[in-house]
Structure 1
């Protein structure tokens, strides 16, 4: 399933020191996890005995019951492929340790002791337990089995499914043990916990789990003991969470009087690739760990996870609003620095009445506000040609008028006709020559005008166009500063929409620009003066291409996996063959158009995906796409 594995975090009903009761509920939840194709299920700290036994941890009767209980877990799990991680107090060399016990198919695979044993405020664990910080390369006798014991254990099924374990307070330490586990290759981290509830603590707990999953570029599964624990002095709420690379995928409900289990499908293949491409992961300290091999684990047959069809666009409106404001700030700060550095007062923008040039103008306008410059020094040039419609021309005029910038109109028709004569091209042949002559004529006008005004040309092309090479080389491909180059088409729409909400004086024209089909307007318009050349009819929907780009660059996903994810994300909108068709075109264009990206102008990086040849993306212009296409065509 392309590196996806289902994991579970369980909070069973518990009675203090009633091991038989606790084991029954652990078994019930374990079997539920197995039926749901979970690879691993996590239980809370000391879940076999209960956490709040206090000085009863000194009683041999309790430990005998724990041994019997673990033996029963082994008997009940002989036919279970799902790995279980349970908490138990275990003796070793006349010391008692707070341990995580890993079980699969009737075998204890290993035991990991807690390192940071708290002794502050309401916690008195050092009264009973020793720290496992020095326990390495040892074996322990548990339920009649001699198994690996220590803080130097990782559990592995394959290069993607490798997990490490820490216990409660370990996560709260300055450098959690899971950090070293991740650096040694663990993509999946588990925490058996007993975290009591006080006002505000749950939020901090959630931030710890999320941030550790992000810092380690891992999936992090957390389970804390529930309300059945003793309430002599504190209350346990039974918190359960599953996070992946900073995002909380699932969280249980606290204070339930019944057992609960949560599931999430984590993308371990993605995490593995991101560690290679997006961090200083390889420079971290790599400690020695013993590897314990797992047997086959259940494979999910159907993905139970939301795949965002618009990964560049936050789905939450409040987050999206914050993101839009931040992006405009990034663009404005970038352009302000460039203008101050070269001492230019004038920005020249080719304004078409389309989304990209609109965003470039809005960002430039914000820059001038910050620098307290006169917006009249923003010189917008509308250059009607063979395909310009009245709608886009009028929208360009209204937008410039509303912002109070300078607007010039330069009709390029005659200049293009003259050029056709020079190169011997029939203007009735609407080929790529017909289109590109117009694009290059417009760029020439902008460049020459910028020279005349001692200004710079602001590029309008975006990240999606750069990925597809959907620009005319040395035409709209070129500028003196490419302010939109880090922003994908799907996000640009929301940026303009946000601007419409925050600029009521130009809201109406921005809304009409948003409603206008994306087009370069290089082919003659229809008889009713409407756009005849619609970009998405030629290259495919930008929402698909942005989706393909995100997963290909972010995690190095294969065409087969990208196709699978797209089918899940867009199942209500596009059929499988349509998605496959546009993915094939995306791959072909992405490879064949690298030469344009290799000489793209400066421009600010905005998100995690960028294609600057000086920054994020270095690719030979003559790389061959055949292996990617062959894999895609093998998909039935």
Structure 2
């Protein structure tokens, strides 16, 4: 046997936290060596943090990255192990996203990224240039701060691989695994044994299965070991990097890390028999045919052995992968994201306007999940989490034993009612808050609403009325918006002063609770209580939240959620009468299920009005006429375009769905539209006319057929 132990990791790095990032990298290297690993791989851009964004334009970002790299290379704990780290580098005045592989105080190779992530949340091409010279190396003059510790003037830079006496190692970087012509294909044909991938891959619901399959397929086709490292946590962005480091051999998973964790450093190791790779490849005849004529990679020789002496070590056996359900992902991902934001923000907790409806209750349940995760981490001996909790609550002796004890310190909720609010929602909000352990308040805003309408009447001489009292649509909408916007003003007032009222310093992060479907439709008031500091459900569909709440009710023992789930969603901004009760879906003119479909077709399938209509004719023709489908599509696009301006002020939201309308980073479409959509709508009308004429002709022909 030719046994080798290798390590990969998930690190909770933070953009521009150079010294903190350095410490976490160093801890991962120490843990890797402790477990006998001779190769350690870390996440993408781990030294600087992935989310530096336009700070990558600044020379400081590069200089501080080089400083930390030099400290790592020189550190005594980084000797006798091949280390693969990620950082930004400048070569010939061009910025590259790079991996640096070093060993025993010397840089072996700088490998720049060849395929950049440029879709969805990613804009790497804004800051970096891809390396286009495949299988080519050139000299790179090391920065002075690194040169001092290595004694090297120049090192190889480009698309090469590391060759020890008994094993070869090649690198991929994040997006390159996803690209059709992935480097691992060519490295496998050239006999490279180990593929490393330092990644910065964010969480989306149901995404992990796809990621797992990519790595299994990569090594099943041509053999080899795949070492996948990933960032974990909130790097300062809307996305959450979900960790889940992996080690895969010949299509089989040997080790899988946690996907959602409060640990800052998680190391994964496996022991591999390299003969298993060579035997596996030897059985693939088509691989041998292609490998015989493949182009060779430039190899950087290390001149040392990496395989261990024969002893008691045994190869790691394959395991079955673990996948969370979407409900578990919603409970865990946004909760970890909120915890990272809270502990790094310096603030004292969260404030949530709790309406007793499904959306705000989902946000509250996610905070509850966060409290459960914190208690579990403390019970498991996570000293960092305990230190963070004590710092947040400003009590050095505090040791929470239940999630409710934490919630009582950091979570404040408030039911902001008016004369239009019902006793049922008021009671549901209070019940849920009590079950979670939050500090709950119940207020009536009628005096504040009355003050604003009275001021308007004093200035204009006119008093607006609700629709049910004879008012116009304009008056009705304005009176609803007054209530919604007042909730935002009061949220920030109480969020700022409630800690003071309880004898504590600092303020609270205000949480929003508008789901992705309402954001897409624009079914919210601009600058209402959806305008907050953070929105953990802003990227989650209503359909997924409906599945999440029963799970949360059982998992976190929140029976109030059952009553909330069975109630019809309502804004409660209009008076309730015998003949009228306001509901969200009636107000929107579409169901939440329809909204989810529009969102996926709009963003993921890249549909404009006409192509969306054509697709929905196929999807919905069993229950709707062509004209009904056309009317629904036109109504959606009218409302989408009328309300698109609201996406410019969306609260930073946890990114979970692939059809978020958030125009800050993810959806770069205009916000001022021609809302008539003249040509697309004409095309839809023409298709509807042709379909109706065809139906009419078929019916006429059927009537003229002779009967037996």
TM-score by length of structure 1 reads 0.48
Larger radius of gyration: 1
TM-score by length of structure 2 reads 0.44
Which structure is higher in helix share? 2
